[in-house]
Structure formats: C-alpha cells, structure tokens
Amino acid sequence: MPTPAELAARAFEQLQLPLPVPRHSPDVRLPDGRTATIVGENTWIWTDRGVWKPAVERVQAGPVWAEVTATPTGMTFNSGYGGSMSCSGPGTPYDRSLGLHAASPDCGFVYTRSSVGQPNDQTTAEWAIQWSVSWIGSDGSGSVGGDFPLMQSRARATFAVAEVQALRAN
C-alpha cells in the first residue's frame, strides 16, 4: 500500500495548473491589423480572474489518500525587452471610469520605447502566475502533509508597442 507522501508525489505530477490569459490595455488595433499598446501610456496588465483560483489534484488507493492544492500567490509580467514587474494578484481589468490615462491600481507597466526594430516590430510579453503548493493526506491512522516547491504557469502575447502623436489638454 502506498504512503500518503507517495500519493502526494503522484498527485503533484498530475496537477494541471491553469495558464494565465494575457490581457493588457491600451489594446488598440493598428491600420495593419496588429494589436498594440502605446509608448508612455499606463498599460494595465491582468489575467482572467477565472484562472486565479486554487488547483486541486487528489489521488486515493484504498483508505490511503493525498490531496495537492496549488494556490496562486502572485503574477510576474515580463515586457519582452528588459522590463518586468511583480503583482500581488491577477491585476485589474482596465476601467475607463478611473480616467483615460489612469494607472492600474495594482498591476501596470509603462513602455518607454517602441517595438520598432524587434522581430516583426512587435514584442512578446510573458505573464507568469506563481503558485504555492501544499498537500494533505491520510493512511487512516492520522493526517499528514507538507509543501512542494513553488510552481509557475506561463503564457505569452505578442503585440506592437507604438508611438503616437497626440495633443492632450488638461
């Protein structure tokens, strides 16, 4: 009969973490059809909240069982050419009611140069969710548990970083 720790290791291997769903704003459409954010603007960064929930995998063999739970603890955004930032949560979807040029309250980035000169004049940014992973289990005589190493799930999005000319009145 396997031990709870052995079943926990099996559950850990089977655990499927949800991938981030990359979102950003501004997310404008260029004349050539590419999407873009804007140099110097507050770019809001977030992932769909539907992926921001614990992922659980349970394995049982007779009376022995183990359950592994991965809990999202933060998200890292890598801009695609040098800059990155860490966010404590999934970020906030853009809300125009806070002001057209408002900074994100919890997960934002400002590109300081365009993506011209990058492959296809675009950047490939990465959203990475960090997960803390723990387990509990029992062989019928008592509960045991522990922690696994931190995990990450990652997804990328490719978009242009465009320069625009505009007049802004305050």
Q: How much is the pLDDT for 107? A: 98
CB proximity list for 102: less than 8 A, separation 6 or greater:
42, 95
Return the number of other C-beta atoms located less than 10 Å from residue 82's C-beta.
9
Region 103-128: what's the mean pLDDT?
A: 97
Angle 57-107-30 from CA coordinates, rounded to 5°:
105
- pLDDT, tens digit (0-9, with 9 covering 90-100), for 100-109: 899 999 999 9
Cα 8 to Cα 16: distance, rounded to the nearest angstrom: 14
Q: What is the pTM of this model?
A: 0.91
**Continuous segment of H or E residues that includes residue 7:** helix 4-14
Q: How much is the pLDDT for 168? A: 60
Grade residue 72 by pLDDT with cuts at 50, 70 and 90. very high
Grade residue 52 by pLDDT with cuts at 50, 70 and 90. very high
